[in-house]
Amino acid sequence: MIDVDIYRYNPETDREPHMQSFFVDDDFGKRMVLDVLEHLRESDPSLAYRRSCREGVCGSDGMNINGKNALACITPVTEAAGSGKLILRPLTGMAVIRDLVVDQNHFFEQYASIKPWLINDSGTVDKELHQSAADRAKLDGLYECIMCGCCTSGCPSWWWNPEKYLGPAVLLQAYRFIADSRDTASGERLGALSDHFSVYRCRDVGNCSWVCPKGLNPMGAISDIRRTLLKTSL
Ligand code: SF4
Ligand code: SF4
């Protein structure tokens, strides 16, 4: 049997959070963490977590799995737990609503603040906006972000300054538009990031890039923003 410890907290009935132990058959070792949760919820429908696509695309089931933020649907049980326990906690740095479900409102408000859409004021909005293959390649490693929040939740600088520092996911998304040759608002976008906190609270530790389940490099995107800010201020 595999021992599974899960963080439980129901604010309507619990005075404080606690870990609850479950057991699943050894066969679950070959399956994904989300399969374990789905199985356990058949016998305990009160167990709360988010999920949607179960293909690592929607970004809903980010959680802390044996100490590392990851997506439950694409994390094999044995890879996370080895021969020990599977330990599931909510994403760090975000308030818990219930069990493994965290409040991501602030995270998505910060996302909205960087205007995550293409801005083009060249008067050609009714035409196709062409882009060279080289310019299109600059978006690789950026457009794939699914906003799961695993990186931002694992960022110590964001824990300390969540109101002022935008965090790695939002900054990677900001750079995705700054780097887009079709976007005409990069000056405005960079101006909005040029204070002491929005970008510069990153301390280059790289926890964000270490945990990203899509293999992206938010720390690198933040460095690119800082480099671009430096160039534009010369
Ligand atoms: S950069 Fe990676 S970890 Fe961060 S939100 Fe995007 S996909 Fe998730
Ligand atoms: S490298 Fe920067 S953004 Fe990434 S976890 Fe560290 S402080 Fe946060």
pLDDT in tens, 94-146: 999 999 999 999 999 999 999 999 999 887 667 888 999 999 999 999 999 99
pLDDT at 125: 66
The Cα-based distances of 179 to 115, 184, 194, 224 in angstroms read 14, 10, 16, 9
Structural domains of the chain ordered from first start: 2-102 (3.10.20.30), 105-233 (1.10.1060.10)
Q: How far apart are CA 148 and CA 190, in angstroms?
A: 24
Q: What is the pLDDT of residues 3-53, one digit of tens each?
A: 999 999 999 999 999 999 999 999 999 999 999 999 999 999 999 999 999
| DSSP secondary structure letter of residue 76 | B
Whether the pLDDT of residue 152 is over 80: the answer is: yes
Q: How far apart are CA 7 and CA 164, in angstroms?
A: 29
Q: Which residues line ligand 2 (CB under 6 A)?
A: 155, 157, 168, 202-208, 218-219, 222
Global model pTM greater than 0.85: yes
Looking at the CA of residue 69, tell me the nearest atom of ligand 1. 3
